[in-house]
């Protein structure tokens, strides 16, 4: 049952990420359609590969299978950000409320706790990632309406939240890597480790959600550099 609920939520979250980042961007209609289609193809490919067991846990020996889609998608996203000026400009054109809203779904970090209590995910990764994500998502839910309404707030507040969310992801990634069974660099050897993150539907987390969240944190950071010390109506306009 938990896997079914997670599959529904993960699919919806991936769709929301795409909608929030592509929909309001300054792009031609045809380009948006192409990007939405590419996102759907990527998700379908992930489902096909992992559904057929092509990259089932252990098939690559000590190499974590969930690193394959994570590294590939991360390279695509940040490659476009760094190497394609049009892609960078399009992301920077996304209004701040939409960028912050991307992280609201991270309240679903509660799933990590449920997996932990179900004996399918180990500490310290599960509780640390869960608590960090829940806090990041909950604060995002508070910030979005304030930004939409143009309520004035110090830029430092948004910057502190963004830094916390980014640190949470980097910490979770580190703990996840140090918890993978069968790897020579595993440090946390208690429990099942993080093998479940290489199976459906949990593979959606490293395959799309985390890379996209990392990129959005960088986009927000970049936008804040040129923003006034006090945010107000400008946040709504981007």
pLDDT surpasses 60 at 156: yes
Return the pLDDT at 212. Answer: 97
Following DSSP, what letter does each residue of the chain receive, concatenated? Answer: -HHHHHHHHHHHHHHHHHHHHHTTSS--HHHHHHHHHHHHHHHHHHHHHHHTTTT-TTTTTTS-TTHHHHHHHHHHHHHHHHH-HHHHHHHHTS-HHHHHHTTGGGGGGHHHHHHHHTTSS-TTHHHHHHHHHHHHHHHHHHHHHHHHTT--EEHHHHHHHHHHHHHHHHHHHHHHHTT-TT-TT----STTTTGGGGSTTTTHIIIIIHHHHHHHHHHHHHHHHTS-SEESHHHHH-
Percent of the chain with pLDDT over 70: 95
Whole-number pLDDT of residue 47? 92
> What is the pLDDT, as a whole number, of residue 24?
94
pTM > 0.75: yes
Confidence grade of residue 232 (pLDDT, cut at 50, 70, 90): low
């Amino acid at each position: 049952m938990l896997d079914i609920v997670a599959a529904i939520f993960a699919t919806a979250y991936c769709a929301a990420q795409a909608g929030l980042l592509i929909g309001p961007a300054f792009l031609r209609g045809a380009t948006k359609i192409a990007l939405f289609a590419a996102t759907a193809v990527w998700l379908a490919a992930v489902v096909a590969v992992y559904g057929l067991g092509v990259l089932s846990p252990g098939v690559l020996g000590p190499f974590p299978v969930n690193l394959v889609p994570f590294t590939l998608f991360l390279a695509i996203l940040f490659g476009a950000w760094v190497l394609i000026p049009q892609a960078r400009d399009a992301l920077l054109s996304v209004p701040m409320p939409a960028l912050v809203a991307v992280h609201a779904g991270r309240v679903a970090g509660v799933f990590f706790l449920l997996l932990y209590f179900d004996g399918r995910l180990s500490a310290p990764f599960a509780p640390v990632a869960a608590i960090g994500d829940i806090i990041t998502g909950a604060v995002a839910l508070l910030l979005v309406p304030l930004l939409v309404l143009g309520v004035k707030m110090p830029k430092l507040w948004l910057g502190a939240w963004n830094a916390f969310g980014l640190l949470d992801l980097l910490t979770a990634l580190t703990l996840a890597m140090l918890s993978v069974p069968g790897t020579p660099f595993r440090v946390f050897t208690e429990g099942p480790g993080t093998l479940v993150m290489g199976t459906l539907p949990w593979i959606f987390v490293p395959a799309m959600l985390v890379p996209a969240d990392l990129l959005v944190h960088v986009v927000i950071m970049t936008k804040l550099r040129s923003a006034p010390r006090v945010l107000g109506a400008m946040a709504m306009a981007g």
